[in-house]
């Protein structure tokens, strides 16, 4: 069920007409549906119900909004974080430290220290060097840090090269063939509780075969470690499941993914951990924008909207597709390129695409903008930081204010020696 749907000719988020939000908050604005978030959280969990022991850690990077984290925390999700900032957000949302997994290739000493002190549930370390540093930090605090070793399985996830993480030439994890030795050496350190392995081969994965191949390799590695007398109780399979961005697109969903995982892990006898991001948040948000004007172009008109690549970076960064639909569609269609106001040609959301006919002043949305949308926003061209709203049935609230350029300007100083 789509919680962003037309009612009486107007696009709604649940029971709220989007023009009501646009008028009150202004545009561009991200709008999230609580019902969609909750439904996705439950669908994903249900898809894994055949597994005896599961830990779910929502990938905070996909949408770190506090209200979003609160909804998912209430659904029993822990958090997968990649910085102290994300950890603080997860804790602020009420997620237990013991349900937090800390991933990332570049955790600083300060971050390791803060996460140890917070008592987080698992460090996914990405090198032997990091393991040694974590052991020194943990020893200094008189504690034993729970650790999974992230392994690079050298599997091509078949996704965009910029969001692929599991090939040998990607920076993530330790090389597959060195992993057993590294795990064994780190297991000898008293301040590390080496309890598992972790893998994550990329994001927006639309074919289950690469994930299956990676998980099978991880199973083999787990067996090798156990064969060496080492205990492996936790296997973190990361996130990565893709979502449909184009209407009508058919992809393997949580049910197919869950069935594949159940098959591969049937004899693992371990807690299977997951770090889903996009599959939970992607379709739970839209970016509402207003058409500034329509101007003629060489091949087709340009629809210039008031959202830009600083608000939604995915098209500029990854040539990503987001459906663009009118909030009050007339039924007419037009072929146009949809662009933002920023001074570079990468500020393009759609090129010569068939879209709902729109004119200056009309509202439209970019769909499937709940993941890697607001969280990647910036203030390029001295634009505001885009606000965020959450809808729950017929009520809604601003869950992140627009940060005006003037506020950012006020944080800057011209030193007196430049006067």
Ligand X SMILES: N[C@@H](CCCC[NH3+])C(=O)O
Residue set of the binding site for substrate: 278, 314, 318, 344, 372
Q: How far is the CB of 21 from ligand X (least distance, A)?
A: 24
Residue 365 or residue 369: which is nearer to ligand X going by CB? 369
| E strand or H helix that includes residue 149 | strand 145-152
The answer to whether residues 52 and 411 touch, using CB atoms and an 8 Å cutoff, is: no
Residue 243 or residue 336: which is nearer to ligand PLP going by CB? 243
Binding segment toward ligand PLP, per CB under 6 A, in 92-100, 109-117, 238-246, 255-263: 238-246
| E strand or H helix that includes residue 119 | none
Under the binding rule (CB under 6 A), the answer on residue 238 touching ligand PLP is yes
300 is catalytic: no
* DSSP result, 348-409: EEEEEEEEE---TT-EEEESS-SSSSGGG---GGGPPBPPEEEEETTEEEEEE--B-HHHHH
Under the binding rule (CB under 6 A), the answer on residue 146 touching ligand PLP is no
Q: How far apart are CA 214 and CA 119, in angstroms?
A: 30
Q: How far apart are CA 60 and CA 87, in angstroms?
A: 9
Residue 151 or residue 325: which is nearer to ligand PLP going by CB? 151
Under the binding rule (CB under 6 A), the answer on residue 240 touching ligand PLP is yes
Among 63, 103, 135, 289, binds ligand PLP (CB under 6 A): 103
Under the binding rule (CB under 6 A), the answer on residue 62 touching ligand PLP is yes
Under the binding rule (CB under 6 A), the answer on residue 131 touching ligand PLP is no
Q: How far apart are CA 254 and CA 78, in angstroms?
A: 18
Q: How far is the CB of 196 from ligand X (least distance, A)?
A: 20
Q: Which does 63 bind (CB under 5 to 8 A by kind): ligand X, ligand PLP, none?
A: none
Q: How far apart are CA 112 and CA 131, in angstroms?
A: 10
Q: How far is the CB of 204 from ligand PLP (least distance, A)?
A: 6
Q: Which position's Cβ is nearest ligand X?
A: 372
Of 325, 285, 295, 292, whose CA–CA distance to 306 is shortest?
Answer: 292
Q: How far is the CB of 148 from ligand X (least distance, A)?
A: 17
Binding residues for ligand PLP restricted to 158-177, rule: CB under 6 A: 165
Binding segment toward ligand PLP, per CB under 6 A, in 13-21, 25-33, 206-214, 273-281: 273-281
* Cα angle value 198/314/209 (rounded, 5°): 40
Q: How far is the CB of 245 from ligand PLP (least distance, A)?
A: 13
Q: How far apart are CA 200 and CA 296, in angstroms?
A: 45
Binding segment toward ligand PLP, per CB under 6 A, in 33-41, 85-93, 232-240, 322-330: 232-240
* DSSP result, 311-337: T--HHHHH-----EEESS--S-EEEEE
Residue 11 or residue 279: which is nearer to ligand PLP going by CB? 279
Residue 240 or residue 258: which is nearer to ligand X going by CB? 240
Binding-site residue set for pyridoxal 5'-phosphate: 240, 275-278, 372
Binding-site residue set: 240, 275-278, 314, 318, 344, 372
Residue 382, number of CB atoms within 10 A of its CB? 10
Residue 163 or residue 364: which is nearer to ligand X going by CB? 163
The answer to whether residues 102 and 82 touch, using CB atoms and an 8 Å cutoff, is: yes
Q: Which does 65 bind (CB under 5 to 8 A by kind): ligand X, ligand PLP, none?
A: none
Binding segment toward ligand PLP, per CB under 6 A, in 127-135, 225-233, 270-278, 303-311: 270-278
Q: How far apart are CA 419 and CA 181, in angstroms?
A: 60
Residue 138 or residue 377: which is nearer to ligand X going by CB? 377
Burial (Cβ within 10 Å: 0-12, 13-18, ≥19) of residue 413: exposed
| Helix count and strand count (H, E) for the chain | 12, 21
Binding residues for ligand PLP restricted to 275-334, rule: CB under 6 A: 275-279
Give 127's DSSP letter.
S
Give one word for 129, left, alpha or beta, with left for phi > 0 and alpha for psi -120 to 50: alpha
Q: Which residues bind ligand X (CB under 6 A)?
A: 61, 163, 203-204, 314, 318, 372
Q: How far is the CB of 152 from ligand PLP (least distance, A)?
A: 12
Q: Exactly one of 343, 410, 414, 418 is catalytic; which is it?
A: 343
Place of tokens 């008293």: 190
Q: Which residues are catalytic?
A: 343
The binding site for ligand PLP (CB under 6 A) comprises 59, 62, 80, 103, 165, 200, 203, 238-241, 275-279, 371
């Amino acid at each position: 069920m789509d919680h962003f749907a037309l009612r009486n000719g107007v696009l709604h988020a649940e029971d709220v007409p989007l023009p009501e939000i646009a008028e009150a908050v202004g545009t561009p604005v991200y709008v999230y549906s609580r019902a969609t978030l909750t439904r996705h959280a439950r669908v994903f969990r249900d898809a894994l119900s055949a597994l005896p022991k599961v830990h779910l850690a929502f990938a905070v990077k996909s949408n770190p909004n506090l209200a979003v984290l609160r909804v998912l925390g209430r659904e029993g999700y822990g958090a997968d974080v990649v910085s102290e900032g994300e950890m603080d957000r997860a804790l602020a949302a009420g997620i237990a430290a013991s349900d937090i997994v800390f991933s990332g290739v570049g955790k600083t000493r300060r971050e390791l220290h803060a996460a140890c002190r917070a008592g987080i549930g698992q460090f996914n370390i990405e090198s032997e060097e990091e393991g040694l540093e974590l052991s020194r930090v943990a020893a200094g605090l008189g504690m034993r840090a729970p650790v999974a070793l992230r392994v690079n399985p050298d599997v091509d996830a078949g996704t965009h090269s910029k969001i692929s993480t599991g090939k040998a030439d990607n920076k993530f994890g330790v090389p597959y063939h060195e992993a057993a030795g590294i795990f064994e050496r780190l297991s000898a350190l008293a301040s590390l509780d080496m309890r598992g392995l972790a893998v994550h081969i990329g994001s927006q994965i639309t074919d289950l075969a690469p994930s299956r191949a990676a998980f099978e390799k991880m199973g083999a590695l787990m067996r090798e470690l156990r064969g060496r007398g080492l205990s492996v109780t936790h296997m973190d399979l990361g996130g990565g499941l893709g979502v449909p961005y184009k209407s009508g697109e058919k992809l393997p969903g949580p049910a197919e993914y869950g069935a594949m995982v159940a098959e591969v892990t049937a004899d693992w006898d371990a807690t299977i951990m997951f770090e889903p991001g996009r599959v939970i948040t992607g379709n739970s948000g839209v970016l509402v924008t207003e058409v500034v004007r329509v101007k003629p172009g060489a091949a087709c008109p340009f629809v210039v909207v008031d959202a830009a690549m600083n608000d939604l970076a995915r098209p500029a960064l990854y040539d990503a597709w987001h459906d663009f639909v009118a909030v009050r569609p007339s039924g007419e269609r037009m072929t146009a390129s949809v662009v933002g106001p920023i001074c570079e040609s990468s500020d393009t959301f759609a090129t010569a695409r068939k879209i709902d006919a729109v004119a200056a002043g009309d509202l439209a949305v970019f769909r499937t903008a709940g993941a890697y949308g607001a969280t990647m926003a910036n203030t390029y061209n001295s634009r505001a930081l885009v606000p965020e709203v959450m809808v729950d049935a017929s009520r809604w609230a601003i869950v992140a204010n627009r940060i005006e350029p003037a506020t950012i300007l006020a944080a800057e100083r011209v030193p007196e020696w430049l006067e």
